[in-house]
Amino acid sequence: MRNSQTLFFRNASQLLTLAGGPAPRRGRALAELGIVRDGGVLVADGMIVKAGRTRDLAREAKRLKALEIDCRSRVVMPGLVDSHTHLVFAGSRLGDFEQRIRGKTGREIARAGGGILFSARQLAQASQRDLLTRASRFLEQAALFGTTTIEIKSGYGLDVPDELKTLRVIRQLMKASSIEIVPTLLVAHALPRRFRGRKGDYVRFIIQNLIPEAGRRRLAECIDCFCDPTAFDHRQCRRILEAGAAFGMTPRVHADQTGRSGGTQLAVSVAAASADHLDHASPGDIEALARSNVVATLLPGANFFFDSRTYPPARALIEAGAAVALATDFNPGTCPTLNLQFIMSLSCTAMKMTPAEAIAASTINAAYSLRRADRLGSIEAGKQADLIVMGVDDYRKIPYFFAANHCVLTVRQGQVIASRLKQGSRGTRRSRSHALPAIS
């Protein structure tokens, strides 16, 4: 299918438009999905022309000779937006995985040579081409799970050449991938061994060398740091975020993950796009977020994989009026999954978000946190035609039948970028309708 192909998605049992109301969604509005029964979407030139009831669109679809895609018994919704990943890495952390199963803590694993520094050594040994091949495969997987936009952080480089290598891989992915990518320079992720005992020197090194190199080459849209008792403090992180902002990078913060670090307050005070993790956010932090436009980005997959005991305070954040988003945090250490549908399910069972809230948090609010809500995250006339067809007739089944992949068709800019339709079902003759078979 070319961009110019006009498409008519029709007869969806539920079309989740997420239309109406300003982004980001807060409080009760987070659960408003703008559901249209027997819904239809008309797409031309990669954009949404109209969305509404099938019968109200049928005439125009005929006039435009649109290719019809029958979505009977299916949910059609906006493409998923994964607003926090560390997708470019080498190798894996299988050793850490087994150590953790045996009861070792993150600190013990790091002392024994695991953790972020282990991934950094693997990345240093990997070629740009190898990193690219692996990352491309991950993106193909993400598209199959229904993700149409993804943020990718660097962060396993720790020095200038390896961070630039990572950012160049991300740039290559941006050119070649069918998914929209937001590149983030993640600095101050961990302290390299050669700077042991000299955290201040490392922060200076980053500010004087790494950020300007990446900034001058315009390799990153955002800048991120790990503001945490186990990593860097809020003063160090502030200097880093401000140095990035001087090159036009939008701040994001890994905040209050393993303990309270002042990361949330820092995110609010620099008007960051997002404060992520928030496991240890205090009531005061939650209030500050609620009064701001900083998106509280929750990553329950990391909690699930790490110890499955504690989760971020999603309900308190929603009830206070904070803008909440969900993301995978895809990385080799704490969350090796790209399945945002599973993250939604976890948000329901472990954080008591409703299925509707989980969907808005993974689409429109995530798009807002990437500064793209004007173009992405909902199905409305004039927005980019990024949408997915789910093999269920009720959106609540997406988190309910958990750990599955319900996505049968992923469309970005009006083009099919991933499909799990059975062989022989991809007739594209204009005269014939294109029926979606059940996925068993």
Q: Which does 157 bind (CB under 5 to 8 A by kind): Fe ion, ligand NIG, none?
A: none
**For ligand NIG, which residue has the nearest CB?**
333
Q: Closest approach of Cβ 193 to ligand NIG, in Å?
A: 16
Q: Closest approach of Cβ 337 to ligand NIG, in Å?
A: 12
Q: Which does 257 bind (CB under 5 to 8 A by kind): Fe ion, ligand NIG, none?
A: ligand NIG
Across 289-435, where does the E strand assignment appear? 295-298, 323-326, 387-390, 407-412, 415-419, 434-435
Q: Which does 332 bind (CB under 5 to 8 A by kind): ligand NIG, Fe ion, none?
A: ligand NIG
Distance separating alpha carbons of residues 284 and 282, to the nearest angstrom: 5
CB atoms within 10 A of CB 119: 25
Q: Give how far Cα 415 sits from Cα of 384, 386, 388, Å.
A: 11, 8, 11
Contact (Cβ atoms closer than 8 angstroms) between residue 26 and residue 317: no
> In terms of DSSP H, where are the helices of 43-184?
54-63, 94-101, 106-111, 115-125, 128-144, 160-176
Distance separating alpha carbons of residues 44 and 276, to the nearest angstrom: 36
Which residue is it, tokens 């031309």? Answer: 44
Nearer to ligand NIG by Cβ, of 30 and 186: the residue is 186
Nearer to ligand NIG by Cβ, of 119 and 148: the residue is 119
Give 265-277 as a DSSP string: HHHHHTT-SEEEE
Nearer to ligand NIG by Cβ, of 15 and 351: the residue is 351
Q: Which does 333 bind (CB under 5 to 8 A by kind): Fe ion, ligand NIG, none?
A: ligand NIG
Q: Closest approach of Cβ 113 to ligand NIG, in Å?
A: 14
Q: Closest approach of Cβ 199 to ligand NIG, in Å?
A: 16
Q: Which does 334 bind (CB under 5 to 8 A by kind): Fe ion, ligand NIG, none?
A: ligand NIG
Nearer to ligand NIG by Cβ, of 119 and 347: the residue is 119
**For Fe ion, which residue has the nearest CB?**
329
Distance separating alpha carbons of residues 384 and 362, to the nearest angstrom: 17
Nearer to ligand NIG by Cβ, of 68 and 279: the residue is 279
The token pair at 159 is: 């020095």
Nearer to ligand NIG by Cβ, of 17 and 328: the residue is 328
Site of interaction with ligand NIG (CB under 6 A)? 86, 116, 119, 226, 254, 257, 302, 329, 331-334
C-alpha count within 13 angstroms, C-beta hemisphere, residue 34: 21
Q: Closest approach of Cβ 170 to ligand NIG, in Å?
A: 16
